[in-house]
Amino acid sequence: MKVLGIETSCDETAAAVVSRDAGGRGRILSDVILSQVDAHAVFGGVVPEIAARAHVEALDQVIATALREADATFADIDAVAATAGPGLIGGLIVGLTTAKAIALAAGKPLIAVNHLEGHALTARLTDGLAFPYLLLLVSGGHTQFVSVEGAGVYRRLGTTIDDALGEAFDKAAKLLGLGYPGGPAVEAAAARGDPARFALPRPLIDRPEPDFSLSGLKTALRLAAEKIAPLSSGDVDDLAASFQTAVTDVVADRTARAMALFREAHPATGRGTLVIAGGVAANQAIRDRLVTATSQAGFTLVAPPARLCGDNAVMIAWTGVERLALGLTDPLDVAARPRWPLDEMARPVLGHGAKGHKA
């Protein structure tokens, strides 16, 4: 089984071909990602209109490259999968419409993929994981714990009531004059700084539900910076280190809580597995803390390679493979959805709703 995947929900134009053999093992045959980061950097964030136009310009070529590298033609693939949401609507429509055109012209089934499901299932491709497992998805648009119980069966255990984790890193970077995208810049500055110099809050720590709140931490960082302005580069490093350590403490505490809930729900599952995904999963300080937190709780930490943690089309193609195997295909009039929660039954969280435009 061979599936072409297309991803255009945010600022990466991506296409990939993934196969699965009779034994269930997946193989990445091609993985093409064209980042638009330079086009948006001057604006300090993703501009939806620019993103949509850039997808239109690049997508045909990106798909052609993905097929060529996989040594495949439209006739060789068994289905075409595209991200249908959540994300920026202009980009979603570009990718999904292209997939529909290919499906119609080549006579192949279409699979409309939830981008978050792509992040959730990647570890089954890279590590051959069996269900169930616990997912911590931390990106620029999403921060959530999900119990992954089957393809299409997800239960959200916790989320953020305000900013996403990557968004908090991006805002901290902007405030400290470190540029965009902020996560890697904050991490680099933090490595040089003193994490104990500023006492920043650890919001929601010890709360029973594994939710996050990050906007208060961002405000505390701004106040600490304003108090000592103008900032020397040493001050910036110390602020970044203090911020990253506070975030890391919060992630470790919330993850311990989520693992306990997962364990209660799945008492028969011997050793549990925690999978991390999303751009923030590239942060080494967070990874190191999660290694400790998971081993203390009797869990194994699985972190797919950084390239597959950020946005890519391999995860969309693989989700297509999993859904096709279950006979889950979509009609050609399926619509793109800017909002599309993985768990439609999840409890509402106070103050949540304004975010989630990207994943």
Q: Which does 26 bind (CB under 5 to 8 A by kind): Zn ion, ligand KG4, none?
A: none
Which residues inside 280-339 make contact with Zn ion, applying CB under 5 A? 311
**Segment contacting ligand KG4 by CB under 6 A, of 151-159, 162-170, 216-224, 229-237:** 162-170
CB 296 within 8 A of CB 259: no
* 330 DSSP assignment: B
Residue 169 binds which entry of ligand KG4, Zn ion, none, CB below 5-8 Å type-dependent: ligand KG4
> Residues in contact with ligand KG4, total (CB under 6 A)?
22
The helix (run of H) or strand (run of E) holding residue 250 is: helix 233-265
Rounded to whole angstroms, the Cα distance separating 20 from 59 reads 24
- Tell which one of 134, 276, 282, 317 touches ligand KG4 (CB under 6 A): 282
Q: At closest approach, how far in Å is the CB of 115 from Zn ion?
A: 6
184: contact with ligand KG4 by CB under 6 A: yes
Q: What is the rounded distance in angstroms from the CA atom of residue 208 to the CA atom of residue 322?
A: 34
Asked if 280 touches ligand KG4 (CB under 6 A), the answer is yes
Q: Which is nearer to Zn ion, 3 or 359 (CB)?
A: 359
- Looking at 10, 32, 88, 93, which residue binds ligand KG4 (CB under 6 A)? 10
- Find where tokens 């929900």 sit: 9
Closest CA relative to residue 253, chosen from 199, 290, 304? 290
CB 332 within 8 A of CB 103: yes
* CB of 9 or CB of 98, closer to ligand KG4: 9
The binder of ligand KG4 chosen from 279, 304, 320, 341 (CB under 6 A): 279
Strand order in the sheet with 12-20: 26-35, 12-20, 2-7, 79-85, 110-114
Nearest residue (CB) to ligand KG4, 19 versus 243: 243
Residue entry with tokens 């990445």: 28
Ranked by CB distance to Zn ion, the top (closest) residue is 359
Q: List the helix and strand counts (H, then E) for the chain.
A: 11, 10
Which amino acid makes up residue 229? Answer: A
Q: Does 243 bind ligand KG4 (CB under 6 A)?
A: no
Asked if residue 45 binds ligand KG4 (CB under 6 A), the reply is: no
Between 116 and 155, how does the x/- string for binding to ligand KG4 read (CB under 6 A)?
Answer: -----------------------xxx--------------
- Which of 13, 30, 255, 283 forms a contact with ligand KG4 (CB under 6 A)? 283
Q: How far apart are the first and last CA of the chain?
A: 27
Q: Which of 13, 139, 255, 312 binds Zn ion (CB under 5 A)?
A: 139
Q: How far apart are CA 218 and CA 70, in angstroms?
A: 44
Q: 192 or 347: whose CB is closer to ligand KG4? A: 192
Helix (H, G, I), strand (E, B) or coil at 3: strand
Q: How many other CB atoms are found less than 10 A from the CB of residue 344?
A: 8
The residues pairing with 31 across neighbouring beta strands, listed in sequence order, are 16
Other beta carbons within 10 Å of 336: 24
Q: Which residues bind ligand KG4 (CB under 6 A)?
A: 10, 139-141, 166-167, 169-170, 181-184, 187, 278-280, 282-283, 310-311, 358-359
Binding site for Zn ion (CB under 5 A): 139, 311, 359
